[in-house]
Structure 1
Amino acid sequence: MLYAALIYTPDLDFAEPEIAKEWLPQYAAFRSEADEHVVGGKALAQTATATTVRVLGARGGEVVVSDGPYAETKEALTGFYLLECEDLDEAVALAAKIPGAWHGAIEVRPVADFSAVQSLLTSE
């Protein structure tokens, strides 16, 4: 089963040398340890680079675009891993080893599986 491990940490610029020196070796160690389970993932740029898109009303309504993230919080979504695990317990055990868990929080969420309804969508 696939799980998204969403990493919430302080909103840091991992391209800054002093931050990279502190954090990147920790993430490299996690990746090395959990490599057989990690099927994807990336760090995200700082929230200041985000753009929020909303459609007012229904589909086709007015598109409103704003600079920055939707919510202002101490912790921000700073990256994610896509983990292939036997079950939630295994995904949680791996998430506890992600360095962001020591500085913030990791949200573990199953990836939606639409294979059971895919035939309904393609038969129309």
Structure 2
Amino acid sequence: MRYVVLIAYVPGRWEEAGPQERQQFFDAHHAFERFVDEHGRRLQSAALCDADLATTIRHGEDGAAVVTDGPFVELTEQVGGYYDVELPDLDTAIAAAKLLPTSYTVEVRPVVGVEGYESL
């Protein structure tokens, strides 16, 4: 079976963390990676920008796509999938997201690197 592990976090915690606490984050991620490597395999991973940089595409009653800035997913919805794609810009990503089933709410976020962290 293939699984995607989505990580929820408290915004601002990383920015407030000192070097020792950041190292603890890295150590925990490395332990996770080693466990997965021993029991299966890692396919892809990435840190996401904060949700305030998300773009959400929701289809109205008439089927028209409405694009909004921000993470406006309803609380009753749950993340059910993850695509990791490379596209030239946000407009192209939005165009691609509009092609997914209209019953979905799709959130598009840029991927960021985490300074000082290197995957094993």
TM-score by length of 2: 0.44
Bigger RCO (CA 8 Å, 6+ sep): 1
TM-score by length of 1: 0.43
| Structure index of larger Rg | 1
Higher strand proportion = 1
